[in-house]
Amino acid sequence: MRHDRRHALASLGALALTPWLPAHAQARERPVTPPLAEGPFYPRAFPADRDADLTRVAGQPGRAAGTPLEFSGRLLDTRGRPLAGRAIEIWHCDEFGQYHHVGAPGGSGDAAFQGWGEATADGEGRFAFLTIKPPPYPGRTPHIHFTVRDGRRRVLTSQAFFEGERANERDFLYRGLGRGAGLLTMRLESAGEGLRGALELVLGG
């Protein structure tokens, strides 16, 4: 099963990219991805299952509740050159609005949802995750937290959003991005039983 999961994630990374990236992806000089606050829900402890498939947890039966989401993209510099070998982490709430690994009482969330995951950008800067589309919760539009590391050093922390969400314009962080919101907003398309979307993440000097 672990082999099948790795194969599926590798396939996602190979598909990632050009059709779903915004128009600015074609520009020679890419705008830098805007940073956003980490927020209060970064894990205090990490799960033993540290892969890029958040829809299943080793030792737990079944798949996470919610709509499956293939989240992929590329990590680039401002000249469009791939940044290989960087680690990308994501974390977000489960289908019931609960964050995991943040000290909440056991059993308060979906036990089949991993809550946090990690991938490494390949030689073309590609990365891919299999997760669920997070729901809104009071005060926030649906979003995925992410951070990019170069070794142990964090080089970008931000959040990914979804095009067409009614709550986007009521979300204080999304509104504060102004024109930069488009650089963090992905368009979703149908993908089998779920959805897929991609973002280009651009690091400055």
Segments in the chain below pLDDT 50? 1-3, 6, 14-21, 23-27
* CATH code of the domain containing 180: 2.60.130.10
What does the block give as tokens for 50? Answer: 């540290």
How many Cα atoms within 13 Å fall on the side-chain side of residue 90?
A: 30
The pLDDT tens digits of the residues spanning 133-147 come to 999 999 999 999 999
What pTM did the predictor assign?
0.85
How far is Cα 73 from Cα 201, in angstroms, rounded to an integer? 7
- Give the burial class of 37: count Cβ atoms within 10 A of its Cβ; 0-12 exposed, 13-18 middle, 19 or more buried: exposed
Range of the domain at 53: 2-203
Give pLDDT, residue 20. 44
Q: Which of 132, 136, 139 is nearest to 117 (CA)?
A: 132
Three-class SS string for 128-172?
EEEEECCCCECCECCCEEEEEEECCEEEEEEEEEECCCCCHHHCH
If one counts the domains in the chain, the total is 1
Q: Which are the contacts of 177, defined by CB distance < 8 A and separation ≥ 6?
A: 34, 36, 184
Give pLDDT, residue 59. 86
